[in-house]
Amino acid sequence: MTGGAVTAPSSAPVSGPRLAARFATEAARFATEVVLFDPEDGRLVVLSGAAASVWTACDGRAADEVARAAGLGVRRVRRILRDLERAGAVAREGAGWRQRACVEV
């Protein structure tokens, strides 16, 4: 696991479930984790530690800005962003990164 903290049930994170590109993904924030859930098909992705921090900072910022906001190194953040993108949790937006739209519960 490159980012060390993107987990999905029963498969490796990179090749694991990918959240569908719809609006209705749900997100639950906990103290050090974020759980993303797609109610359409029941896919679940858990972000913990650094991945949760990076996901939280993805509001359109570029990777180096995300790294500053999350307090992490840029190279590590780029790896995490790739994992998050593969999991369908974030998407590129121009030069920046943005969370997939979600309903927060």
Partner 1 sequence: MSVHAGLRVAQHEARGAEGERDGVAALAGAPGLAGAPAEAGSRSGPGLSGWTVRVHAAPGSPQGSRGVRLHALLAPLDLCGLRLPPLEVELGADGWAVGRVGGETLWRIRLPETRALSALLGQCTATALHLADRLFLHAGVVAVRGRAVVLAGPSGAGKTSLVAALLAQGATYLSDEVAWLPLPDGVPDSVQVPDGVQVPDGVRVPDRVRSRHDGGPPEGAPCAFPFALPLAVKPWTLRALGALPAGEVVARDDDVTYVLPPRRAETRVPVALLVLLEGRGRRVRLRPLSPGAVFLALSRQPSSLQLARHRARAFAGLAGLLRTVPAVGLVTPSPAAGAAALLKILP
Q: How far is the CB of 35 from partner 1 (least distance, A)?
A: 5
Rounded Cα distance between 67 and 73, Å, is 6
Cα dihedral angle (19, 72, 12, 45), rounded to 10 degrees? -30
Cβ-proximal residues to 1 (8 Å cutoff; 6+ apart), any chain: 7, 12, 13, 14, 83
Is 2:80 a contact under the CB 8 Å cutoff? Answer: yes
Q: How far is the CB of 67 from partner 1 (least distance, A)?
A: 20
Q: How far is the CB of 95 from partner 1 (least distance, A)?
A: 15
* Ramachandran assignment for 2, one of left (phi > 0), alpha (psi -120 to 50 degrees), beta (any other): alpha
Answer for which of 2, 18, 33, 76 binds partner 1 (CB under 8 A) is 33
Answer for which of 11, 12, 39, 95 binds partner 1 (CB under 8 A) is 39
Nearer to partner 1, 39 or 71 (CB): 39
18 binding partner 1? (CB under 8 A): no
Residues at the site binding partner 1, with contacts judged by CB under 8 A: 7, 9-10, 23-24, 26-30, 32-33, 35, 37, 39-40, 42, 44, 46-48, 60, 93, 98-99, 101-105
